[in-house]
Amino acid sequence: MKKPGFYDPGFFVSKSFRDQVQKLWGSKNLAESQNRKVLMKKQKKTLRLYNIFRNTKRESRELKDGT
């Protein structure tokens, strides 16, 4: 039986915590989270542009109606 030491992460932290850390720092998951960040940025940008476009359309319509 090996002595528990710093090389054995299970000795210090619970399994769920270790899984969370692996989720955060696993290479695949890190790439995924980076992609998610980029996607969220792009979505926000497109949403903002779409809202501006929609608002300008509405404003021009209101100007035509004279309301």
Report the domain count for the chain: 1
pLDDT in tens, the chain (67 residues): 455 444 554 455 566 766 766 666 655 555 666 777 777 777 787 778 777 777 777 777 777 776 5
Instruction: Provide the pLDDT for residue 31.
Output: 63
Q: What pLDDT does 38 receive?
A: 76
| Non-local CB neighbours of 29 within 8 Å, separated by 6+ positions | 22, 23
pLDDT of residue 57: 76
Q: What is the pLDDT of residue 13?
A: 57
Question: H helices within the chain, ranges in order?
Answer: 15-25, 27-65
Domain of residue 60, residue span: 24-65
Q: Would residue 17 count as lying in a domain?
A: no
